[in-house]
Structure 1
Amino acid sequence: MNNLFIMDPLDKIQVKGDSTYSLMLEAQKRYNSVYMCTPQELFSKNGNVFGNITKLNVSKKEPYFSMIERKEIGLSYFDVIWLRKDPPFDISYIFTTYLLDLVPKKTLILNNPTAVRTANEKMIALHWSQFCPPTLVTHEIERALSWSSQQPGQVVIKPWDGNGGRGVLVSHFDDPNFRSMLELLTNNGQEYILVQRYIPEIKEGDKRIILINGDPVGWMTRIPSEKDHRGNMHVGATVASFELSARDKEICASLKDYLKNNDLLFVGIDIIGDFLTEINVTSPTGIQEINSLMNCCIEELIFNSVESKLSKT
């Protein structure tokens, strides 16, 4: 089975903690057929999609990536294409999904590029607003000020297209810097932001649950450091195990049909307290940390699911 990973450049990959690296290792072990390219290396001729593709050997030891050859290959050659480019979800990312829409359906693309394009990670959760914290989406500074003044405490301000906690601020309507924060994140009223009621349970951790075909298979909680409000590991959050609550299971069950019907096979959802905050479909992370905490192998489960899916086509 030939696997192509569309991803960030290899020199940007931190193998410790990187979920794409874990998937590549599993592909190497099973099939000895791992290829990669960046989105910028894709192009189309007469409706057929090609890329300047690098074949790799992937190892658990240094050198982690060894280039075998690099050449132009049509994407129809591959059995599975993994869309693993990290956000920002900008126009270049969107155009990558347009190119992948042209690839013949016999090639399985994970996650489905059409569904990825539709499912903005901040906005898609609002389709299940009964599970979300009170949320305002706006680019109007005065509207954000008015809404925030009606909240019982702090609020969280997020850019709509960020990832990894970048640009996420916690503040209060009475903060003299609050208007300036809104001006900064909205680019003076030109860009949309999300404003959400602050969930105090973030201090206990931001829960990440990995779903395969809509079923929860692994989970961890990311506990913010004393110096930061964000539950993101790259800013100092630590990870711990936890037991899924009845509410967690209810949220997962509510999402299952949508994820399965839209070929969103590998998804990570974020829950703080009892509230769904994000549905990550572009490049979910957490495989290595969850494997360590739960003594499991998420990437093995993912490939088992992929093989099962291919056997039915």
Structure 2
Amino acid sequence: MRFVFVMDPMQKVLPDKDTSFALQRAALKRGHELLHTELRDLFAKDGDVWTRARELRVQDGAPFFEYGAVGDVRFADTDAVFIRKDPPFDSEYLYATLLLERARGQTLIVNDPRGLRDANEKLYALHFSRHMPKTLVASHRERILDFADEVGGTAVIKPLHGAGGAGVLLLSRKDQNARSIIETLTREETVAAMVQEYLPAVRQGDKRVLLLDGQVLGGINRVPRSDDLRSNIHVGGRVEPCEVTAQERAVVDDIAPRLRADGLYFVGLDFIGGKLTEVNVTSPTGIQELSAHQGRDVSEDVIAWVEKNVTSGAARSKEPPRS
């Protein structure tokens, strides 16, 4: 099969950590052809969406990747497309999802471009607010300060477009910088931010649970450094093996139908103290750490699922591209 990875340049990949690399390696192991492309390479011609793609091979050890021949490829002529571009979700990302809309129903896309547009990784979780900590999305300073008072004087504030822990700050009413923090993240009360009650359980870890088509692949626990609020691997969080609890599995069962309906097949849910904090859909990571803990390559499960659904067409959209 021919798989296209729409993502950042391979030079930015961390081969010992990145999930995209693990998926590529597993696909090659199972005999598939890999193509790599960036957002800037996409183009539409006569109603079809194409891209300027490079053949790709990856391996453990240096050099960990090698590009091959370059050529124009029509997405409808490929078997599956992995959209793995890291945030931020900016205008170019938006335009890319609109272009890739033309390929819906013609090839298997993980994750669906329409689903990616609808599923801001902070705001999408509000569909499942019954499972979340107390949460406010607002831009007005006094409303945010009042909310911090309501949840005991301490909250966490974060930008809606961030990823990897960028911009996540502790907001304390006792801190003389509280107003400045709000004004910075809301750009002087012109842009909304997410504010959540502070969960002390974060000191024991922020759990990432990876899902494939609504089913649990497994979880990893990311423990923050002693001198940092954030537990993201990118900023130094320590990764520990963990079990997915019955409470967390119940949350997964509750939200899985909505994820499937939106074409969000490969997803990372974040839990703190059993509470759902984010739904990660653009380029969820953690599969290499999960594989190390399980003693097997979990990436192969993802590729096997893609193979099955390419063959059956079960995961392709039944709705034709819009004319």
Normalization by structure 2: what TM-score? 0.94
Letter in 2 for 1:135: T
Task: Tell me what 2:132 maps to.
Answer: 132
d(CA) in 2 for partners of 1:22, 1:142: 45
Task: Tell me what 1:216 maps to.
Answer: 216
TM-superposed deviation, 1:243: 2.1
Task: Tell me what 1:115 maps to.
Answer: 115
Letter in 2 for 1:209: V
Segment of structure 1 superposing worse, 234-243 or 178-187: 234-243
Matches within 5 A, 1:54-133: 54-103=54-103, 105-133=105-133
**Compared with structure 1, are the counterparts of its residues 244 and 104 closer, same or farther at alpha carbon in structure 2 (3 Å cutoff)?**
closer
d(CA) in 2 for partners of 1:229, 1:80: 38
Task: Tell me what 1:180 maps to.
Answer: 180
Task: Tell me what 1:3 maps to.
Answer: 3
d(CA) in 2 for partners of 1:197, 1:104: 39
Instruction: Give a deviation string over 1:80-129, Cα, whole Å, max 9, x none.
Output: 00000000011211111000001152211100110111011101111111
Q: Work out the number of aligned pairs and report it.
A: 313
Task: Tell me what 1:242 maps to.
Answer: 242
Task: Tell me what 1:146 maps to.
Answer: 146
Normalization by structure 1: what TM-score? 0.97
d(CA) in 2 for partners of 1:190, 1:84: 30
Letter in 2 for 1:181: I
Instruction: Give a deviation string over 1:44-88, Cα, whole Å, max 9, x none.
Output: 112111111111121122211111111222222211000000000
Matches within 5 A, 1:150-165: 150-165=150-165
CA contact (8 A) 2:155 2:195 kept: yes
Matches within 5 A, 1:163-312: 163-312=163-312
d(CA) in 1 for partners of 2:262, 2:146: 37
Letter in 2 for 1:61: G
d(CA) in 1 for partners of 2:262, 2:176: 44
CA contact (8 A) 2:267 2:280 kept: yes
The alignment partner of 2:103 has SS state of coil
**Compared with structure 1, are the counterparts of its residues 216 and 273 closer, same or farther at alpha carbon in structure 2 (3 Å cutoff)?**
same
Letter in 1 for 2:36: M
Segment of structure 1 superposing worse, 1-10 or 247-256: 247-256
CA contact (8 A) 2:218 2:243 kept: no
The alignment partner of 2:30 has SS state of helix
Instruction: Give a deviation string over 1:223-280, Cα, whole Å, max 9, x none.
Output: 0011111011121111111222221111111111112222211111000002100111
Instruction: Give a deviation string over 1:173-209, Cα, whole Å, max 9, x none.
Output: 2211000000100110111100110000000000000
d(CA) in 1 for partners of 2:190, 2:153: 26
Task: Tell me what 1:53 maps to.
Answer: 53
The alignment partner of 1:31 has SS state of coil
TM-superposed deviation, 1:32: 3.9
**Compared with structure 1, are the counterparts of its residues 147 and 34 closer, same or farther at alpha carbon in structure 2 (3 Å cutoff)?**
same
The alignment partner of 1:102 has SS state of helix
Letter in 1 for 2:287: I
d(CA) in 2 for partners of 1:51, 1:92: 15
Task: Tell me what 2:36 maps to.
Answer: 36
The alignment partner of 1:101 has SS state of helix
d(CA) in 1 for partners of 2:186, 2:242: 36
d(CA) in 2 for partners of 1:310, 1:150: 50
d(CA) in 2 for partners of 1:137, 1:262: 23
CA contact (8 A) 1:2 1:31 kept: no
CA contact (8 A) 1:153 1:198 kept: no
TM-superposed deviation, 1:150: 2.0
In structure 1, stretches of 5+ residues that fail to align are: none
Higher relative contact order (CA 8 A, sep 6+): 2
d(CA) in 1 for partners of 2:132, 2:32: 42
d(CA) in 1 for partners of 2:291, 2:75: 31
